[in-house]
Each structure stands twice: as C-alpha cells, then as structure tokens.
Structure 1
C-alpha cells in the first residue's frame, strides 16, 4: 500500500537556506517613488509687460545687474542691454540718463571683458542718440572718461582711448567743450613730473606694459592729433558738420536742425578751487589741518584753454619738449647710411612714433598761426634750433624694410595699425620748417637758414617729379607751396618749384584725380590778385594753353569739363591778363563754337551756361563764330533758356563799350539772322512734315504743325524783338530792319511759317516804336497770313493758348495794315 500524505500543521516553522532571498509578504507597502521636472517655457506676463531679452530680462533688471559684484553678471547685463536697445530703440529715450550713468561708471571696470562689452554697447547706442539729448549728461561722462584715462591700470587707459574715439565720431562738439579737461590726461599718459607743481616733465617708462613704450606713446599721440583736429575744425573755424549722431538704421532719432548754444565752462569742471578766505582760516592757530596739504589751484591753473588767453602757449610749452623727447628716444632704432647723399634709414617701429610726433606739431603750428601770430614768432625763436638739430640732422628719411619670411601669410593691418610712409614723414618735416622759412631774408641768414632751406626745396622738387604720389602727400606739397608763396622772399626757388609742378601737371592723364587737384592749385595761384607777378608769367600762359585740350578730352566727364570752364572764366576776369592768355581763351571759344553740333549740345545745361558766360569776356568774335552762335540759337536740341541767355550775353557784350558803326551793323545782322534765317526756308521740310501752299503769284508758304517748335520759335522771336527795342536810336534801327525786310521779301519766293511769324511780331514792335512798315510790305505779309490760317483750318489745328497767341499777333498786324490803307 502507498504511503499516506502528511497533513500540514498550523504555525509550521520555515526552514531558511543560506544565500536564498526571502519572499516579500503580500501585505508589504512599497516606499519607493519617481519624480519628473516640469519646465516653464515662458513666464506668465500681464498686459503691461515691458520688452525683454531672450533671457526674459527687461531694461530695469539689466540696469540693476550692471552694478552686480559678479563679473559674468555684469558682462551678461551689458550684452543684454545691447540686444534690447538695438531691438527696441524707443527705450533709449526713456532710460537714457540711467543707461549713460551705468555705462560711464564701467569705463574703469577692472575686467577687460566687461569693458569690451561696454564699448560694443556704446558703439550701438551712441549713433541712435542726438547731441541735444546727451548734452546735459556729458559732464558726468567726461569726468568718468578722465578717470579712466588717468587710471593706474594700463589696460583701462588703453580702452579709454577707444571710448574717446566713439564720442569724437558721434559728438565732437561736446568733446571739444571738455577738451580743457581731456588734454592734461593725454600728457599724464605719456609723462610725469618729479614733484607736484613742477613744470618740467619726463617721459614714462613702464617695462610691465604689454606694448612697447614707443607704440603706446604713438597711440596716445594719434588720439591727441584727432582731438586737436576736431578742435581746429569745429571750435576755431566755427564749422559744424551736419549729420553727427544720426541713426544708421532709419534715422530714428535724427538731430534737429537748430542753432547751437555754447556755454562758457570753467577750465576744470571736476575740481572746485577752495576760496582764499577759507584757506586763511586754516592757516590760523587752533586748526590742525595744514593748508599745504590742500590743493590751492584756481580754475585757470589746471587745464589748457586753447582758445583762451595764455592757454595755447602753456599747452605748447608743455607738449613740445615731450614730443622732442619722443623723437630723440626713437633715434636709437635708426640705421644711418654711410654713403653720402643717401637717406637716413629708420625702422618700422620708430616710423610710427615719429609720424605721430610730426603730425601733432603740424597741427599745433597751424593752430598757433591761425589764432595767435605773436606766439608764432616766439615759438620760432625758441624751437628753431631744436627742430634743426633733431628733424633735419639726417633729412630726408627712408624706411628700412626687413626681409620677409617666405611661406608666411601676411595679416592685414587694421586702420589703427597703419603707419605713415617715409614720404609723409619727410613732407611733415617740410611743412613744419616752412613756418620758419617765412622770416625775412636778413633774419633767415641770421639763423643760418641757407643750408637747410636748400635741402627743403631740393626734396620738394624731387618729390614732385615722383610717380604714384598719394593724394594726401600731394595736398601737403601744395599747402607748403601756398604758404611759401605768401611769405618767403626768394622767388627764384619758388619759380623753379612751380615749374616742376607744372611739368607734373602736363604729364598727368587728363581725367586723373591728380590732374584735377593740380588744376585747382594752379587756378588759385595764377588767378589770385596777391600774386600779380605770376598772372602774366609764361607759366600762367602755359597753364592756360593746356585747358582747351583738357576740355575736349573730358567732355564725357561733365564735372571735369565744368571745372575747366570755371577756371577759364576766372582767368578772363583778371584785369591784368596778358594778350597771349586772352588769345588762348578766344581760340578755345572759336573751336567750341565751330564744333557746336558735337560738343556744345552734349554738355549739361549748367556747363553750357558757363561757356556762354565765357563769350562775354572774349575779344571781337570771328564771323564764323557768329554764324555758329546763330545756329545754336535756332537748334532745337539747345534748351530755350540757354538760347535766351546767349542772346542777352551778346547784347550786353555789345553795350559794355561804345561800339563802332561796323560793330553795330555786325550785331544787328547777327540778331536778324537769329530772328529770320534764310536757310530755314529750304531745309525746314527735311526736319518735320510740312505743308506747301501756293500764295499769290509764284510765292509759296511752308507750314508745319509741331507745337513744340512753334512755342520755342515764338519765345526766341519775342526775345530778339525786345533786344531791338533796347537800342538807343530805335528809328535808325527800324530803317535798317525795313530795308532788310524789303530785300528779303522781294528775293524770296518761298517763306517758312516761322519767318512769317518773326516778320509779323517784328512789324508790331516797330509800330510801337512809331516806325510802321510800308504799305507794299504789309500787303505782302497779309497774303501770307491769310494762307497760314487757311492751312490751320484745313488741317484742324488744335486750339490752344499758343495758337490763340498767334492769332492775336496776326490780328494786330492786319488791323494796322488796314488803318494805314484807309
């Protein structure tokens, strides 16, 4: 039998095995849980929410973060403000004061990334702000800028110059108003004084600076030259360039055209002098503070008021010795050539600092000469020996070009790294020394100027003959020659230099920019009353002789052609112009009139007017030239206003002197040819569709229906008739006209409609002079008029004001003829 199954007992003990996991009970509660993050893409905004950036920060939050202690927060705040203000420019108007305050306070931020972000923000915001909006906040900006320029950290000083460039480009007038505060900072950046109040200063040498000392001084002097250029351009000359601070994107906040009100400011706005009464109390007994520890500077002691009394002299006396020290310091990097007659070789590094030194001195000398001539004489006596020993010791200079490594790509230089050329450096020396060459001959010999003056003239003569001279260098040469012409006593050297420049002018291409600049230069010199000895010189005649050929070659360039005519007009207006020069102008006028169909008609209206004005000054014209003038007046391609102006010029030219009988006959004949041209009777049908009608006898009338030609002809006819009325003795003129009409009508069997209207209107004017035409002529003209109106009626001519005007003139003529026949 099988074994019986064991029954399960209650509360049986479970046997556990080693390593086996116990099963969980059925009533065990699991305590584990899972979580997921929920990201809100956009904040809940109310209806009055402000514009925000991509990080959902508005302008107020960004302005608050600009004062955060964290560098990254300040940098992100400036980047966000740039994004927000460029996207929503209207925010600038409502938050301008706070934006300028935050950005100005960060001029001296210790982190370079924050300063660069601040510069980018200003570069985007300043063009959107007008000068009137920023004027009231500029003293605060100027104070922060001065702090940055005089900071102990070199990087902050370097970035302050970039900020100064931004304000000079957008608000030059405001920077000029604060120039008295800014100019001392330039001097402090490159020099220092041993003791407080010591006027003698020495150049700073900082071996820990990232850039070399020469490169840093060159950068500072470049900004100083830019500021002085703005001062001379705006404040000294009173010129204001329009469009500063205008928006580049739609001109959102364009500057209104209003008059600028200038307020007189103290020389040192950031420093208030302590009153003398207070200082005297500090010196009294019982006061522990010593007056020697307190600044006693007055408002006029600090700063350099360039336009004030003594300000320019003080600035020059402080700056020029420092500039000479910069020049001497750069002497150690040049390579002197041993061969006689060769230039002094200088390195690329010293070229930058030397060019900056000379540019600043050039501008200082121009400012002094323009506004303070007595100071100029003082500067000559004080600095002539120093300039001769430093600038002219190895003059002229050349740049030493080191050998370049092959296979190495050359990085393009930025605008701030572009250095002047050796030619610009040498011309700057010539420009500076030209101020000393203006002394009289005896004083020049006293200073021993004969040797270095010949070197200057020799270099100028060589540089004029060089090919590829830049426009800026050529402008400097012309400026030097203009200065020497008005002051230097030895005209022999100047004549040789002018002759070399004239040879350069004749060898240039007629349409080159260099030719155009030289054209203006010679026209200003030869046509100036100050240089009367040059007006009749052979050089002036040679210069005028080049103008006709230049005009014919530059007809396609209308601007150049107009300029040539302007120079010719300026020449013929001279009272002391020689006969040879007038012959050149007369020959040119005859050539243009001879080629009137291909030359004159292709010119602009303004250029045509200038040529017509030139006819007024020319001596008696040839018969061929008068025939060309008649053709121009009757040519449909010539504007009617030019035609009327030409008729007036001819008559004023005739009336300016007492004319002889032959001249009167020639003038009346020219006017009659303009009024009634026999050549038109045979050729009118070739230009326009015309209708021929047989009149009484064998006579024919040629009529066309072009209203444009009719209107032009009527305008010219009335103008010529009014000219006839301006003669002194109209009765004699009427006799001449009647004899001409008698012979003309008897000889001609074919008459054009234009000549018919000319005779009709002329007869009406003669009747107003109380010199009516004879009966036989009036009857002949009435027959032509009757045929003319028959043609109008047969062809259905349009009724217009012009046709009505013709009818009125013809009706007046018929009424007069009837009155005389009765």
Structure 2
C-alpha cells in the first residue's frame, strides 16, 4: 500500500505546471451582471401540477387517495381540490371514478372533526349540482348509507350535522329519487333522533328524548330542527304521488271513416288487493308502512306539543312553542294527505277510519279542548329590538295564523260527521274563519292559500254535516267568501283567486248544497259576476264546466247576466283561451263550449242582446265559422 502512494506522488510531480502573472488586485471576482433565462419543461409542469404560487394541486389519483388519509389537513385539502375542479367545469373526467368519489366524500359525514364534515357537505353539494340525476342514481345508496350512519351515530355532534347533509340531498336530488330509494328508512332514523323505544318489541310505544345538543340549543329547538327535515321528507312523498300523470283515452273524430263508440260504460278494472276484495282487515305494503308512520309519529308529535303547550296562567305561546306547533300541525296534515292519496288509489277508507278511531279524541283534547276554549293560539309579542331574522319563518306572526288554520283543517278531517255535542266547537271554528275574512286583504298569498283550504274543508267537504249543527254561522261564512271574491279581495298571486272560484263553482254544482245554502238568493252576487270571467284573456276549464252546469240547471240569475253581457262576450271570444284539461283541444272547439251556453240562455233574451252580439260577430273578419255555429245554436229546437 505504501508503494502505491509513492507512485501517485511521483505522478503529481511529473505534471506540467502552468506559471503566469497573477491578476491585479480587484479583478479576481465573479461576474454577476450576465442575463439568464428560466428553463421550463411544460410536460413536467403538467405532470406535477404546480401553480404559480407554488401550492401543489393534486391529480385525481392522489385526490382519491387523500380522501381516506388519516390526517385531517390532507382530507380537507382533497375535498377542496375536488370542489375547485368541479367549479372550473372539469366534471366529465370524474364519471369513471364516481364510486370512489362518492365513497370518499360521503364518508366525511362521519368524520370526528367538524371542519372536515362541513367541507364534505360543501363538496357533495357542488358534485350533485354538477352531475345529472342519471349519473347519481347508481351511487345514491352510498350517500344514503352514510347519511343513516350519521343520523344514528353515538356522537351528538355528528347526529346534529347529519341534518346539513340531508339539506343537501333535499335541495339537489330529484324528489322522486329520494322518495323511492330511502324515504321510509330515513323517516325511521328521524324518529330515533328525537325518541327511544320503551320496549324493544313495541315500536309504537316510544318516549321523547332530552336535549341532544351540547348546551347551545334547547330540547324544543333541537326537536323542531329535526321535525322540519321530516316535514320536508313527507312533503317530498306527497309531491311524488301527486305528480303522477293521469291516463286518459282520447278519441279523434274522422269524417272519412266509420267511428265506433261504447254505448255502455266499460267495466272499471279492480285494482284492489285480495284482502280488500274479501273484506279482510289487512293493509297493503304501502298502507302498512303509512300506518307505521302514524303509530310512531302521532304520539310523539302530541307529546312534543304537550311539553310546550301554554298553561292557564300564561295562555300565550313563546317563540319556540309557536315554531314547534307550526311543524307539528304541518306533519299531521302531511300524514293525512298521504293517507288520502293512498285510499284514492286503492279505493278504500280503512286507514282513515282507523286513524279517526284511535287519535281523534286525543287531538281534540290536546289541541282544542272539547268546547274549543284553547283555540285560537297567539304568540307573545316580540321585543321591538329584535330583527326580522330573530323572528324566523315558522312563527306565523303573533296571531299564529298558519297554525290556527291548520288546526281548522285537521279538525274537519278528524271529525267529518260532527254531532250536536260538537256544535259549540265547530261554531267556534267558523267564527274564527269569519274574523279572518274581515282581515283578508292584509294577508300574504301563502296565508290566503291556507284560508282557502280551510274554507274548502268547512264549506264543501264537511258542509252537509255542519249545516245540521251550525247552519247560520256557516251560511254567513259563505256569504263573506262570495263578497270577498266579487270584491276582488283575494289576491291573484299563487293562484288564490282561481282556487276560490273553483270552490264556489263546486258548491254551486252540488244541487243539495246549493239549495241548503239558500239557492239563487244566496249566490246571486256570485252568479251575476261569473259571466265577467269570459271577458278575461284566459278562462279555466273548471269555470266553463261550472257555467255549463248552471245552464243545464236553468239557473235564471246566471243566464240573465250572461245574456246582458252577450255582445261583449261574443266580441271577445276570438281572443279568449281556455286553460286546464282542454288546452290541447282546437281553439274553435273551446269557442263552441262558450256558444253552447247561449242555447240555454236564449230564453232569457228579452231585449235582443244575443241578436246584437251576432251582428257584431258577423262584421268581424275571420269569424264566419263562429257566427254560423251561433246561428245554428239559436235556431236549434
């Protein structure tokens, strides 16, 4: 080893040494005044996804991996990365990875950190908004599975935040998809969030639980928050059932070929199940599910109300009690609507009879008292310093009008055939409605819709029985309704006026109610005003049908008013359009429906108004067919 070292030293000494003059002092420095260009390899930038600020953006594979990372920061950054990518319009490249994406995002609902849960809900909202319902449907069970796990989690904070996830689904998912897939299961989880079973083998025997939150909200506020979401779920079920299109047979007339029409009414298809046909007390699967909802919900709703119900020493409701009453009444109304839809489809009344038998008296005692002394409810006036945000949308104002109107409708559903002993109660309800009609103009459209629904329950659905026990108050309420309609005190927004017109027309079409309410003398203001509707740009199908019924009944008041306005009606006929079931019909066919009214009314033409209108019609260009048809109607015997 020593010889090798000496050999290297000899080699170093043998090298040629360059000797020269040394540089002057001050010149032996490195020059830094040269220019350089930054080398950029764009393929590398594209691969690593660096931004100008230096913050790294993850690619899709890394994002899906970090959604399951143990670090909260990594999971949060991955959720934000997905959200930013979707907002920039890059949702197409996610289609092939939706299963992993939904698994990772929905799993955030069970995260221990509140910030991660909120980020997952925001990302889920953006993702559902960017995708079509057809793309979400195969993976919807993944979302609902995590939702149910969050709703039944042992940690109260996760249960509380699960309502935020449900809000995202209610806003972004089509109602039909939400109703068909998991509505029944979610409803059961809602019930578990506010109650617990007293015995494992009795589902209907449940008791309310105490405050779930961590001291920041009261028990009543928590239950109201849960029940509001439950109300939205039941509302989704109602809208899904009511949106099913009706199947109708349409026959088209062709004069060039023979037509065949049934003389006898065809036999209706019996869609009832075997148990109903054999009169056995067994509900269908859907009916049994509805009965389960009622068995579990109604006792809880009534217990929830009993906890906040005002006492004799303080008859006014607090703000929380008013909000609780609002959602309780809304849920009970939705249950009744679901039952009515089910019974209409299956041609049965078994479920509604069972509901009245088991819960009618409890409803009466808890919400009205036997004589109605607890009704109507009012709220404690709020302090002037409180803003509109503090009042909330569920209060209904100091008069609690939505709550009171809902109680009126429920009373009519629970007691469709009231007896004389309940005369004082229903007289109290009718008097309340009479007072609301006096202040009708000051009500917003949403509350006017509730007023019309309550009027329908009293004046049409239960009128036959109520006319036996409270005839005078009910007749006065009808007169007030007619006066308000003719005086145009009902708003035209939200279809309020149309619903009032439909209600009055249905009452007139029923000859028994028409006579018992006072007949032509009582309805004279409405019947005289009715032909003026033919001068509006649009006329509903129900209005024309009601007019035809009045003419067939030879109603003198209506026909006299129609003849007096014949010239104006005929000149306006070419501009009129019919809305409703007959929208698809030919315009001339709808015009003939109006002209046919004059066949019955021509006997009331003492002053030649119909002839004058016919001349005006002949003078207008393009009305030859209409004028010819009217001549045929007038000359027909």
Q: TM-score, normalised by structure 1?
A: 0.58
Which deviations, in whole Å up to 9, do the C-alpha atoms of 1:19-58 show, x marking residues without a partner? Answer: xxxxxxx99xx9xxx9xxx999987427996999884322
Q: 1:623 to 1:312 in 2, by over 3 A?
A: closer
Bigger relative CO (Cα 8 Å, ≥ 6 apart): 2
Contact 1:335/1:346, CA 8 A, preserved across alignment: no
Report the Cα offset of residue 94 of structure 1. Answer: 2.5
Q: 1:208 to 1:470 in 2, by over 3 A?
A: same
Contact 1:613/1:649, CA 8 A, preserved across alignment: no
Which deviations, in whole Å up to 9, do the C-alpha atoms of 1:585-640 show, x marking residues without a partner? Answer: 111113445xx4xx668x4577996566423321336656435433433334xxx2
Alpha-carbon RMSD across the aligned residues, in angstroms, is: 3.7
Partners in 1 of 2:107 and 2:284 — Cα distance?
28
Contact 1:346/1:399, CA 8 A, preserved across alignment: yes
Report the secondary structure of 2:309's partner residue: helix
Matched, 1:463 2:436: yes
Q: 1:49 to 1:531 in 2, by over 3 A?
A: farther
* 1:504 counterpart residue number: 484
Q: 1:80 to 1:551 in 2, by over 3 A?
A: same
* 2:91 counterpart residue number: 89
Contact 2:507/2:514, CA 8 A, preserved across alignment: no
Matched, 1:543 2:536: no
* 2:176 counterpart residue number: 173
Report the secondary structure of 2:57's partner residue: coil
Contact 1:85/1:92, CA 8 A, preserved across alignment: no
Q: 1:238 to 1:42 in 2, by over 3 A?
A: farther
Q: 1:420 to 1:198 in 2, by over 3 A?
A: same
Report the Cα offset of residue 112 of structure 1. Answer: 1.6
Partners in 2 of 1:235 and 1:650 — Cα distance?
47
Report the Cα offset of residue 398 of structure 1. Answer: 0.9
Which deviations, in whole Å up to 9, do the C-alpha atoms of 1:175-204 show, x marking residues without a partner? Answer: 212122111100111011245334422111
Structure 1, unmatched stretches of 5+, are 1-25, 241-304, 338-343, 658-822
The structure number with the bigger radius of gyration is: 1
Match 1:384 to one of 354, 360, 363? 360
Matched, 1:479 2:460: no
Matched, 1:577 2:586: no
Report the secondary structure of 1:185's partner residue: helix
Q: TM-score, normalised by structure 2?
A: 0.74
Residues 304-343 of structure 1 mapped to structure 2, 5 A cutoff: 308-331=286-309, 336=313
Report the Cα offset of residue 64 of structure 1. Answer: 1.4
* 2:509 counterpart residue number: 527
Contact 1:535/1:576, CA 8 A, preserved across alignment: no
* 2:262 counterpart residue number: none
* 1:69 counterpart residue number: 70
Contact 1:535/1:577, CA 8 A, preserved across alignment: no
Report the secondary structure of 1:537's partner residue: helix
Matched, 1:102 2:101: no
Which shifted more, 584-593 or 316-325?
584-593
Contact 1:335/1:345, CA 8 A, preserved across alignment: no
Contact 1:131/1:171, CA 8 A, preserved across alignment: yes
Contact 2:528/2:561, CA 8 A, preserved across alignment: yes
Residues 349-498 of structure 1 mapped to structure 2, 5 A cutoff: 349-372=320-343, 373-393=349-369, 394-405=374-385, 410=387, 412=389, 418-421=394-397, 422-439=400-417, 444-445=419-420, 448-467=421-440, 468-484=442-458, 485-487=460-462, 488-491=464-467, 492=471, 493-498=473-478
Which deviations, in whole Å up to 9, do the C-alpha atoms of 1:272-310 show, x marking residues without a partner? Answer: xxxxxxxxxxxxxxxxxxxxxxxxxxxxxxxxx995242
Report the Cα offset of residue 361 of structure 1. Answer: 0.9
Report the Cα offset of residue 529 of structure 1. Answer: 6.5
Match 2:196 to one of 192, 196, 201? 192
Contact 2:224/2:324, CA 8 A, preserved across alignment: yes
Which deviations, in whole Å up to 9, do the C-alpha atoms of 1:442-480 show, x marking residues without a partner? Answer: xx34xx423322221221222122132233333233333
Residues 767-806 of structure 1 mapped to structure 2, 5 A cutoff: none
Structure 2, unmatched stretches of 5+, are 1-23, 247-282, 344-348, 580-586
* 1:217 counterpart residue number: 223
* 2:582 counterpart residue number: none
Report the secondary structure of 1:84's partner residue: helix
Partners in 2 of 1:181 and 1:643 — Cα distance?
63
Partners in 2 of 1:438 and 1:90 — Cα distance?
56
Q: 1:350 to 1:103 in 2, by over 3 A?
A: same
Q: 1:617 to 1:507 in 2, by over 3 A?
A: closer
Which deviations, in whole Å up to 9, do the C-alpha atoms of 1:714-766 show, x marking residues without a partner? Answer: xxxxxxxxxxxxxxxxxxxxxxxxxxxxxxxxxxxxxxxxxxxxxxxxxxxxx
Report the Cα offset of residue 401 of structure 1. Answer: 1.2
Partners in 2 of 1:515 and 1:41 — Cα distance?
74
* 2:125 counterpart residue number: 123
Report the secondary structure of 1:202's partner residue: strand
Contact 2:325/2:403, CA 8 A, preserved across alignment: yes
